[in-house]
Amino acid sequence: MITDYEVLQTDIQPDREVVTQRDGEIDHLTSVLKPITHGIAPNGAFIYGPSGAGKTCAVRCVIEELPRSVFINCLSSHARRSVLNRVLEGLGAGSALERRSVSTDDLAAAIERAVDGPTVIVLDEADQLDEITVLHELYAIDDVTLILISNDPWPAFDLERFDKEATRLDSRIGALEDIKFAAYSDSELVSILEKRAQIGVEPGVVGTNELRYIARCADSDARDAIALLYHSVRNADHDGRDTVTKSIIGRSRGDADQDVIRSRLSDCSRDQRLALEAAADVGPATSSEIYDVYRDRADDPVTTRALRGWLPKFERYGFITKSGPAHEPKYEVSDVVLEELGIVT
């Protein structure tokens, strides 16, 4: 039934011809970066929109055509030193282990020496940075163009996490080109699924009505929709069925949810996984209670402010649920995450 597994996976970047419904945004970003073709580093872009709106996929399509680019996921590399080391690795300046004796303050200077011509640095999940100092450092380097990717526009960042640093960056962020990715409509998701199914599934296995049902189940999230398409076809095949039915789609939702959460968990840093394990042990619990347990387990714990900044993302990704009063909510780890972390409660 499945003829191309890769095109049905959510964590594999598809070829450009597979990416649909984001031509306008891709063209916009391409035009922003066009000066690079003339040896000039442009201001860059600030890209924002809800999860599953195709932001990362679209940006990767564009930077794949550039001579020099570095892509960093700040969900896993959220500390200043980690980001700077990842940039150096992307520039071919060796591994982080080779720089163990180099101070964090000296890493930015090392990046400046390593940059050879206009270079694009993409910070995905930029709203998860522990501190915004790293943006100051990267902005200060000639020939570096930043692309920041976030769920929320800059004014909606949790600026309190960054103290007064954020206000000093407002004018620079304002110089970046805003590119908004709106949530997909059901019809746009159907178009995306049709393209994937044409390439990755035998003809006649999934009908248009079933693709519409998958789109409705996915609630505007392309990642969820693609995962549900894959598991629906896979389960139909295991059942010995010739076609995918709504019943099979409904039964496949748990498999798809677990697949997506597993993929997102793999992007988490060790500290974030420790925070989730702490929440699992004491939850339902407040952020302060979770932090107390996390701090005792971490070798070099992040600040309580940084951990609080992770919680909205954890909730958005289905890692945790939130309950209780808005001024002091309590958090509880989802069953899927408990299973993935190997925690028995």
Rounded Cα–Cα distance for residues 151 and 313 (Å): 9
Considering the domain architecture, whether residues 302 and 207 belong to the same structural domain is answered as no
Read off the pLDDT of residues 236-283 as tens digits, 9 standing for 90 and up. Answer: 999 999 999 999 999 999 999 999 999 999 999 999 999 999 999 998
Residue 176 included in any domain? yes
Give the residue from 139, 161, 180 where a domain finishes. 180
Considering the domain architecture, whether residues 127 and 222 belong to the same structural domain is answered as no
Residue 206: domain span = 184-265
Read off the pLDDT of residues 96-146 as tens digits, 9 standing for 90 and up. Answer: 777 888 888 899 999 999 998 999 999 999 988 888 889 888 988 989 999
Residue 1 included in any domain? no
Residue 321 included in any domain? yes
Rounded Cα–Cα distance for residues 161 and 130 (Å): 8
pTM for this one? 0.89
Question: What is the total residue count of the chain?
Answer: 345
Return the CATH number at 238.
Answer: 1.10.8.60
Considering the domain architecture, whether residues 33 and 174 belong to the same structural domain is answered as yes
Considering the domain architecture, whether residues 171 and 32 belong to the same structural domain is answered as yes
The DSSP-derived string for 254-315 is HHHHHHHHHHHHTTS-HHHHHHHHHHHHH-SB-HHHHHHHHHHH-SSPPPHHHHHHHHHHHH
Helices (H) and strands (E) in the chain, counts: 14, 7
Considering the domain architecture, whether residues 33 and 162 belong to the same structural domain is answered as yes
Residue 4 included in any domain? no
Residue 249 near residue 225 (C-beta atoms within 8 A)? no
Residue 284 near residue 321 (C-beta atoms within 8 A)? no
Rounded Cα–Cα distance for residues 9 and 230 (Å): 7
Give the residue from 152, 180, 208 where a domain finishes. 180
Residue 5 included in any domain? no
Rounded Cα–Cα distance for residues 199 and 201 (Å): 6
The number of folded domains in the chain is 3
